[in-house]
Amino acid sequence: MYNIKTLNKIASCGLNLLDKRMFAVSDDFDNPDGIILRSFNMHEMELGDNLKAIARAGAGTNNIPVDKCSEKGIVVFNTPGANANAVKELVLAGLLLSSRKITDGINWANTLSGDDVAKQVEKGKKEFVGPELEGKTLGVIGLGAIGVMVANAAYHLGMEVVGYDPYISVSAAWGLSRHVKKADNLEKMVEDCDYISVHVPLMDATRGMIDEELLNHAKKGVRVLNFARGELVNNADMKKALEEGVVSCYVTDFPTEEVIGMKNTICIPHLGASTPESEDNCAVMASKEIDNFLVDGNIRNSVNFPNCELPRETKCRITIAHMNVPNMLTTFSKLMSDDNINISNMINKSKKDYAYTIIDIDEDVDASIISEIEAVDNVLKARIIK
């Protein structure tokens, strides 16, 4: 029986996929085998010795101590693409909000009173004139699941779309409309953009990437949308650009004390993935990832360990999370040979500093083999799956 701890409310349509004969799900477990969460901050949380996997029902994993998990051999999953449509739709709304002064107009209309409201509307509406999207140029920074959907949808709205992503995946490239132009240089791309929408993960290389240096290359009056992560934008530089008219409107899904009240800024209260469909999709994907890993040892959509999957064809399977260093497979094979264990099938994959090995064997093995494997230098965690 695997104990799964939930740190946030997770949609039942996902949790119900976990076979009750094999999984117990609760928010009370002290030392669970797996954790499923959404936005709960785990950085101050103790990671029990029994913890093998964490699944984030969402794309970002900044609320999870990924480095610490990696050092302990704990596999961290996310759910890429599960909330992509929800975010895409809000980005489209953001494009319209940034152009047509809709929120300002609504707020003004709600102040009107008296018998001549219709006349006041006709007289005052000129203050809220804004351009149409058709024919304008949108620059999409980051062409992952969300960025591709935004780019394709914007093209169908009649926009000229340019995308920038030096690390675009093969699957994303296949999904991208052939009408979306590819930019090789970010600074050059923003020169011609009427709108910029950022869709990259937050990491050291991208933190504050929308800054004064980049905005100085932008077309004057550009509208900037951030539905990825608040820290991707240098708020001080954005404030200056808004005050100087370099940026005519900034739409962000990440309000902070620093951002609220900035000139020509529309703050949305982190609604990007806040749809019932998105929450269901994320819960389903996270539950399937946990199931596939704990029951069969397979990894798909991990942020710290490589994708590594092998169909089950034997009674017993050994999985090993380890550092990506030479001679590990040779060492594992020798341990099996010394214990007279025949290897039926094996797969090994690596991702930067970390690697993962699945070894299938025909017969049952004694649990002592795990102690032998974990005693090997650079092995982080090993287990037997029967």
**Cα–Cα dist 208/230, whole Å:** 9
Position 60 scores a pLDDT of 84
**CA dist 261 to 228, 246, 250, 265, 379, Å?**
20, 18, 11, 7, 51
DSSP 210: B
DSSP 370: H
Nearest to 154 by CA among 214, 227, 94: 94
Q: Work out whether the CA dihedral 301, 305, 311, 317 comes out positive or negative.
A: negative
Residue 352 phi, psi (nearest 5): 55, -115
Taking only the tens place, the pLDDT of each residue in 83-127 is 999 999 999 999 999 999 999 999 999 999 999 999 999 999 999
Percent of the chain with pLDDT strictly greater than 70: 100
Judging by beta carbons within 10 Å of its beta carbon (0-12, 13-18, 19+), is residue 315 exposed, middle or buried?
middle
Taking only the tens place, the pLDDT of each residue in 189-209 is 999 999 999 999 888 999 999
Distance of CA 11 to the CA centre of its chain: 18
**Cα–Cα dist 52/74, whole Å:** 5
SS3 state at 308:
strand
Percent of the chain with pLDDT strictly greater than 90: 95
pLDDT confidence tier of residue 34, bands split at 50, 70 and 90? very high
Position 59 scores a pLDDT of 84
pLDDT confidence tier of residue 169, bands split at 50, 70 and 90? confident
Instruction: Write down the H helix ranges in 79-226.
Output: 84-100, 102-109, 117-124, 145-156, 170-175, 186-190, 212-215
Judge contact between 287 and 280, C-beta under 8 A: no
**β-strand pairing of 379-385 with 316-323:** antiparallel
Other beta carbons within 10 angstroms of residue 320's beta carbon come to: 24
pTM of the model: 0.82
pLDDT confidence tier of residue 166, bands split at 50, 70 and 90? very high
pLDDT confidence tier of residue 171, bands split at 50, 70 and 90? confident
**CA dist 221 to 146, 289, 317, Å?**
25, 44, 59
Taking only the tens place, the pLDDT of each residue in 358-382 is 999 988 899 999 999 999 999 999 9
Chain length of the chain: 386
Position 372 scores a pLDDT of 96
